[in-house]
């Protein structure tokens, strides 16, 4: 499912989180939203998910206006930065949640829920943790459960808010691999927010660079790198050139933000 954002603005008091934003995400692409912290990336992602309402402008899913569609009816998966797992539920119940809260006529039976949840837990390679509770898991494991939980409702679009921000470097690269693999298997449109230039380029088909205060899309960089991508790719000239370009864009912004702050 494609995502389009048209002339979208959102302010919080004097802060302009999103200023007349426009972006097009073709169906089935893996796309990064890259920008310095506090530039409104998360706000934009939350507006696309329906967790936040824009002041003006619209969000289109598959060409249809979804600006005022309730978040429940948008069919998006959302992975929160701090996982937001349900602390009082087992891992199994966390993943099953989206299926259990369905209206009675569309709710799958217990056997179906069980097989579906176990299948998802296998997908994120954590089926052996089904009976544990979130507080017993490491950060990377929690993140994977959050991913499985979001996928359980079969969303057409997957939105991830700084999905790897809180993880150590080792776990981070494993999670990046997992995300790429899930994207290749399921071919959903995936949009993720990051402030890590290398991560954005390495994972995505397309990178939107966002500016801070006011939050605008400064550039759209297509990433022509072949898939599957291996780690050697990061040392190639094409990659480094892309990285430099993105870094320059971000740096200009960071400088501007610092000066504005003074």
Question: To the nearest whole angstrom, how small is the minimum distance from the Cβ of residue 234 to another protein?
Answer: 30
The answer to whether residue 153 forms part of the interface with another protein (CB under 8 A) is yes
Residue 149, interface with another protein (CB under 8 A)? yes
Collapse the DSSP code of 83 into the 3-class scheme (helix H, G, I; strand E, B; otherwise coil) and give the result.
Answer: coil
User: What radius of gyration, in Å, describes the C-alpha atoms of the chain?
Assistant: 19
Calculate the CA 198 to chain-centre distance.
16
Q: Are 1 and 157 in contact (CB under 8 A)?
A: yes
Q: Which stretch binds another protein (CB under 8 A): 71-79, 116-124, 179-187, 191-199?
A: 71-79
Closer to another protein by CB, 63 or 87: give it. Answer: 87
> Is 129 an interacting residue with respect to another protein (CB under 8 A)?
no
**Which letter does DSSP use for residue 107 in this model?**
P
84 binds another protein (CB under 8 A): yes
Q: Name which of 51 and 225 has its Cβ closer to another protein.
A: 51
CA dist 36 and 16 (Å) reads 15
Angle between helical axes of 110-123 and 139-152 (0-180°, round to 10): 130
Answer for which of 38, 57, 98, 108 binds another protein (CB under 8 A) is 98
Locus of tokens 């991830």: 160
Q: Which of 134, 140, 163, 215 binds another protein (CB under 8 A)?
A: 134
Specify the stretch interacting with another protein by CB under 8 A; choose among 77-85, 175-183, 228-236, 241-249.
77-85
Residue 93 vs 177, nearer CB to another protein: 93
Measured from the CB atom, the residue of 68 and 235 that comes closer to another protein is: 68
SS3 category, 106? coil
Q: Nearest distance from residue 138's CB to another protein, in Å?
A: 11
Judged by DSSP in three states, 8 sits in: strand
Our separate counts of H helices and E strands in the chain read 7, 10
Q: In whole angstroms, how close is the CB of 220 to another protein at the nearest point?
A: 26
Element (H, E) at 148: helix 139-152
Half-sphere exposure of 50 (CA within 13 A, CB side): 19
Shortest Cβ 166–another protein spacing (Å): 8
**Residue closer to another protein, measured from CB, 91 or 200:** 91
Residue 59, interface with another protein (CB under 8 A)?
A: no
CB 63 within 8 A of CB 4: yes
12 touching another protein, by CB under 8 A: no
Give CA angle at 26 (182, 175), nearest 5°. Answer: 25
Q: Given the DSSP bridges, would you call strands 206-211 and 30-34 parallel, antiparallel or unpaired?
A: parallel
- Indicate whether 102 belongs to the interface with another protein (CB under 8 A): yes
Binding segment for another protein (CB under 8 A), chosen from 23-31, 45-53, 109-117, 193-201, is 45-53
Binding site for another protein (CB under 8 A): 49-51, 71-72, 76-78, 80, 82-89, 97-98, 101-102, 134-135, 149-150, 152-153
């Amino acid at each position: 499912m494609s995502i389009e954002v048209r002339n979208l603005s959102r302010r919080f008091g004097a802060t302009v989180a999103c200023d007349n934003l426009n972006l097009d995400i073709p169906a089935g692409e893996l796309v990064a939203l890259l920008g310095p912290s506090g530039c409104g990336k998360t706000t934009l992602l939350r507006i696309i998910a329906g967790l936040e309402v824009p002041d003006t402008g619209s969000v289109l899913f598959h060409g249809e206006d979804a600006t005022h569609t309730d978040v429940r009816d948008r069919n998006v998966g959302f992975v929160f930065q701090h996982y937001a797992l349900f602390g009082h539920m087992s891992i199994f119940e966390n993943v099953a949640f989206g299926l259990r809260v369905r209206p009675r006529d569309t709710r799958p039976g217990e056997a179906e829920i069980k097989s579906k949840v176990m299948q998802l837990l296998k997908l994120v390679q954590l089926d052996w943790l089904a009976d544990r509770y979130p507080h017993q898991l490491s950060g990377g494991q929690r993140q994977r459960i959050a991913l499985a939980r979001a996928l359980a409702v079969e969303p057409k679009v997957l939105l991830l808010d700084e999905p790897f921000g809180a993880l150590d470097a080792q776990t981070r690269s494993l999670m990046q691999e997992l995300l790429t693999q899930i994207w290749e298997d399921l071919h959903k449109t995936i949009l993720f927010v990051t402030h890590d230039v290398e991560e954005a380029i390495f994972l995505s088909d397309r990178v939107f660079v966002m500016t801070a205060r006011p939050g605008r899309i400064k550039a759209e960089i297509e990433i022509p790198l072949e898939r599957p991508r291996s780690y050697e790719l990061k040392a190639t000239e094409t990659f480094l050139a892309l990285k430099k370009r993105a870094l320059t864009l971000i740096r200009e912004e960071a400088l501007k933000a610092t000066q504005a702050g003074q």
